[in-house]
Every structure is written in structure tokens, then in C-alpha cells.
Amino acid sequence: MAEKSLKLTGGLKFNEAGLIPAIVQDTDTKEVLMLGYMNEEALRRTLTSGEAWFYSRSRQELWHKGETSGNRIMVSSVWLDCDSDTVLVIAHPTGPVCHTGNRTCFFQELIEPSTGKSPQEDA
């Protein structure tokens, strides 16, 4: 399977707000840490600085992950999905990624309300 390196040019599919989803995955554990959104400037800064930048939809501004908490995301590589509408940031977190203090933002399992079981328990 051939891999390609792409330059940050046309071809990326940003949404109508000028944003693209960015999934962050831990380099070592492969755990999914968070989902954020990047505009073109956040993506450019991520690629050039080696640290993760996002666009805050609530504050409507660029957001350097860890600027306040000190828990930065050190970028190893950035990948584009097959549809060019999502990026995957492979990175090493320097501390908890979630604003709640959890290592990952994905710590709340959904269960089926009528049975109280997760899909895994039915498999």
C-alpha cells in the first residue's frame, strides 16, 4: 500500500464554517484522546510548530492546546483520511488531555437504556 505526503494546499474539505475535525491519538498507546476542530491556520500552526492547535468553536478563536493547563500535545505526525474531510493527529500528550483532568476525553461509555448493557456485553 502506497503512502503519500501531501502539502497543505487545496483538496482539504473544510466544512461551511471553515473547520475540519481533528482526532488526536496517543503515539504510544493508540488510545483516542480527543476530537477538536481546526481551521486552516490551526492546521498550519500544528504542522509547523510540532504542537497541537485547534479552533475553539465556542470562543471563536485559535486555541493552543495546553496554553492554560500546561498539558500540551506534542505532534508526531498528521494524517488525512480518504475523503480529505478529517485529520488524525498522532501525538504524545504531556499530561491529561481532557479539561476534566482525565487522560482522554472518551471516558464515558454509552449503554443501552433498557438493558443497562454496553454493546460489548451483548457480543
Residue ranges making up the domain that contains 61: 20-122
Over residues 30-60, the pLDDT tens digits come to 999 999 999 999 999 999 999 999 999 999 9
User: Considering the domain boundaries, does residue 38 fall inside one?
Assistant: yes
Over residues 61-73, the pLDDT tens digits come to 999 999 999 999 9
pTM across the whole model: 0.84
User: Considering the domain boundaries, does residue 3 fall inside one?
Assistant: no
**CATH number, domain with residue 75:** 3.10.20.810
Residue 25, Cβ density class (10 Å: 0-12 exposed, 13-18 middle, ≥19 buried): middle
User: Considering the domain boundaries, does residue 2 fall inside one?
Assistant: no
CA distances from 100 to 25, 36, 69, 97 (A): 18, 15, 11, 8
Q: What domain count does the chain have?
A: 1
Does residue 4 surpass a pLDDT of 60?
A: no
Contacts of 79 (CB under 8 A, 6+ apart): 87, 88, 90
